[in-house]
Amino acid sequence: MAKDQTPNAAILVIGDEILSGRTRDSNLHFLAGELTRHGIPVAEARIVADDHDRIVAAVRELAARHTHVFTSGGIGPTHDDITADAVADAFGRRIDVRADARALLEAHYATRGTELNAARLRMARIPDGATLIDNPVSAAPGFTLENVHVMAGVPEVFQAMVAALLPGLRGGAPVLSQTLTLLRGEGDIAAPLSELVRDFPELSIGSYPQFRNGAFQVSIVVRGTEGARIDAAMTRLAARFAEDIA
Amino acid sequence: MAKDQTPNAAILVIGDEILSGRTRDSNLHFLAGELTRHGIPVAEARIVADDHDRIVAAVRELAARHTHVFTSGGIGPTHDDITADAVADAFGRRIDVRADARALLEAHYATRGTELNAARLRMARIPDGATLIDNPVSAAPGFTLENVHVMAGVPEVFQAMVAALLPGLRGGAPVLSQTLTLLRGEGDIAAPLSELVRDFPELSIGSYPQFRNGAFQVSIVVRGTEGARIDAAMTRLAARFAEDIA
């Protein structure tokens, strides 16, 4: 697959709770791993507050520059759930309670004897032209509008929506990776690593230092779509630093 | 303090390892909490790949819209450490090895008998006009250029740099918060919560659902700078949902 045909993605997490430090994100981390395995590399991620204008601006910018945008959060029944309306606005679409989404909620709450009140009915607000994303956990659907996939923030629901959505998206060649951890500082390995980068231009080679027990070590991560090339790079790296492998 | 005088912040995390799902971010989460407590609310966060143009674009956009931008990652000695040059480019500044940063590295490595090789010397590349941020862990400094604070990606170093930097930044009134968790779905509490939002416009009131043991519960987080108003809102909330408090 030519490089310019490889799909890519942006992730947009919507929620004050991440930006205040109250909650540590898990959806972005989960989805980044899933997309990488599916061959849709993530080029950028953003976290914005529950603010209409910021969501609209981020959706427009990210949708224009990426094959796919995946959002997390802000599609529940409360006052701070404003993502669906913001995504509709970003594309100039009308949004209202839609019959198909309403039917899903009616069926779900009927079996539980729960009232489908005005707040819950807000979760059936779907932009014109969007297709629904199945929510097997709690019925209220996500949706896809243009190249933007709008999903819930609750991790159990988010993960179920990703599982429903991802098989239908065309992935590129899966990205494979191997890691070698060396008991050396990055400064010792930088020069040989640059040679490796030069000799394997088709691979992505990253150097990730960690601080353990008062000393630096470094993990070299080699990623690419051709397993044989990754093997060749790792073999050379392991031979060069045989005495330093963790 | 008038609302338009309240400082705000953006966080920019630079690193392929977060976007590939290999590493779960911790610096963004840590800094978001520190800034919130310091009275500098975080309005947006971004994670971009180790890509010069993406870093330059993100720095320019975020610096123009926020009081402060804090970056994490990409200032080590290897080929994928390109943040310092990108930040210099974003502001049109010259960048080269600077004597003060070089002196810090020389002193640090001399005591360890470690060679200050060409790769390590890259960590003394500092843009013209920048002030250094102290690194008590491993010497290689961060820097502040204009309103952008450039720090390391290794969490131990990042946290030490934040500790060195933050006391010197003017904070707004500290944001206080209280949380009440209710054993109810969001759909049950949405209407009374909207009344609370209407009656306490100076507070930020968020509703964060969780899925536990097959049922939804919800945490209501009330945030603001006036403790008495937060108390009043929480008291009303607790009275309204007395039977549902977790």
pLDDT per position as a tens digit, B47-60: 999 999 999 999 99
The predicted pLDDT at position A1 comes to: 36
Angstrom CA distances, A186 to A193, B46, B72, B158, stand at: 9, 26, 17, 16
Q: How far apart are CA A139 and CA B20, in angstroms?
A: 30
Q: Can you list the residues of chain A whose pLDDT is less than 70?
A: 1-4
Structural domain count of chain A: 2
Q: Are residues B75 and B141 in the same domain?
A: yes
Q: Are residues B32 and B48 in the same domain?
A: yes
The predicted pLDDT at position B85 comes to: 98
> In sequence order, which residues have a C-beta less than 8 Å from that of residue B237 and are 6 or more positions away?
B180, B196, B220, B222
Contact: B79, A47; criterion CB under 8 Å: no
Q: How far apart are CA B239 and CA A3, in angstroms?
A: 60
Q: Encode B163-200: b = buried (16+ Cβ within 10 Å), e = exposed.
A: ebbbeebebbeebbebebbbebbbbbbbeebeebbeeb
Q: How far apart are CA B20 and CA A179, in angstroms?
A: 13
Contact: B209, A80; criterion CB under 8 Å: no
CATH at residue B157 = 3.40.980.10
Q: How many CB pairs under 8 A join A and B?
A: 199
Which chain A residues contact residue B20 at CB under 8 A?
32-33, 36, 41-42, 175, 177, 223
Residue in chain A lying closest to B204 (CA): A16
Q: Half-sphere exposure (CA, 13 Å, Cβ side) for A86?
A: 25
Contact: A119, B18; criterion CB under 8 Å: no
What is the distance in angstroms between the Cα of A154 and the nearest Cα belonging to chain B? Answer: 6
For A62, the domain range is 3-168
Rg of chain B over all Cα atoms, to the nearest angstrom: 22
Q: B1-33: per-residue pLDDT in tens?
A: 334 578 999 999 999 999 999 999 999 999 999
Q: Are residues B8 and B118 in the same domain?
A: yes
- Is the Cβ–Cβ distance between B216 and B209 less than 8 Å? yes
Q: Are residues A162 and A46 in the same domain?
A: yes
Last residue of a domain, one of B137, B168, B199: B168
CATH at residue A222 = 3.30.70
Question: Which residue shows structure tokens 């600077």?
Answer: B98
Q: Are residues B115 and B214 in the same domain?
A: no
Last residue of a domain, one of A112, A144, A168: A168
Q: How far apart are CA A177 and CA B243, in angstroms?
A: 52
- Mean pLDDT for the stretch of residues B156-170: 96
Q: How far apart are CA B97 and CA B122, in angstroms?
A: 7
Query: Which of A80, A179, A199 should be substituted to probe chain B, the one whose Cβ sees the most B Cβ atoms within 10 Å?
Result: A80
Which chain B residues contact residue A186 at CB under 8 A?
76-78, 119
Q: Are residues B156 and B208 in the same domain?
A: no
The predicted pLDDT at position A124 comes to: 98
The predicted pLDDT at position A20 comes to: 92
Give me the sign of the Cα torsion angle B154, B177, A57, A10.
positive
Q: Exposed/middle/buried for B33, CB within 10 Å: 0-12, 13-18, 19+?
A: middle
Residue in chain A lying closest to B62 (CA): A46
Q: Would you tell me how many other CB atoms lie within 10 Å of the CB of residue B145?
A: 23
Q: Are residues A153 and A50 in the same domain?
A: yes
What is the distance in angstroms between the Cα of B22 and the nearest Cα belonging to chain A? Answer: 7
Residue in chain A lying closest to B34 (CA): A21
Contact: A42, B20; criterion CB under 8 Å: yes
Query: Which of B51, B106, B208 should be substituted to probe chain A, the one whose Cβ sees the most A Cβ atoms within 10 Å?
Result: B208
Contact: A29, B30; criterion CB under 8 Å: no
The predicted pLDDT at position A3 comes to: 44
Last residue of a domain, one of A136, A152, A168: A168
Residue in chain B lying closest to A198 (CA): B79
Q: Are residues A182 and A62 in the same domain?
A: no
